[in-house]
Amino acid sequence: MRQKFNKLATKSFFDEKNTYLKPEILSINKEKCILEIGSGKGKFITEFALKYPNVTFVAVEMNRHVAYHILKKVKEKNISNLHLIVDSAKNLIYYLNEKTVSSIYLNFSDPWPKKKHHKRRLTHPNYLKIYKTILKRNGKIFFRTDQKEFYFDSSLYLQSYFEKISYNQNSLSLPIISEYELKKRKLGPIYSIEAEGINE
């Protein structure tokens, strides 16, 4: 669904500490760093950051008009341990040093159902190569979707990159869930994958 233009999502609005509109290496001063790619309006990542103040969180959302809602939540809740990157996941290596991320969350990413668009999927090997660079050796990826075909294809992608993988075709609700899962959970099963340990 195409997001509406938000006149409040100006460059000056994003001129905040821990907010990045162009490449710059983040200063991560905590041992654990959790990354969510495609954070949408930020319900999941902001609630997660509030619950664990001693962990560094990074939200990645390339649509500025959507990312506005993340930063708005950060300001309202005075969250100090969350960085916001308003850019494509393709550019993550220009923001994060190698082997600095503990976990990556991919919550209800765009499934790009047409075969010609599969390379745009956030679980496609094009992106997994990037994640392999920024994840710690025993780093994890958590993937959730309501799209069955996307789930099965993603399971195949991930097998070549991780040592341990677990699958669930009817995943239970977590204590913290995204806006999208809140809506989709009523309509059918939620599929999830947890992958751990990078294959070198």
Known active-site residue 87: no
Which tokens go with 123? 């679980």
d(CA 64, CA 66): 5
Three-state DSSP state, 83: strand
Set 87, 110, 146, 153: catalytic member: 110
Which strands, in side-by-side order, build the sheet including 135-145? 19-20, 82-85, 56-60, 33-37, 101-107, 135-145, 191-198, 162-168
Q: List active site positions.
A: 110
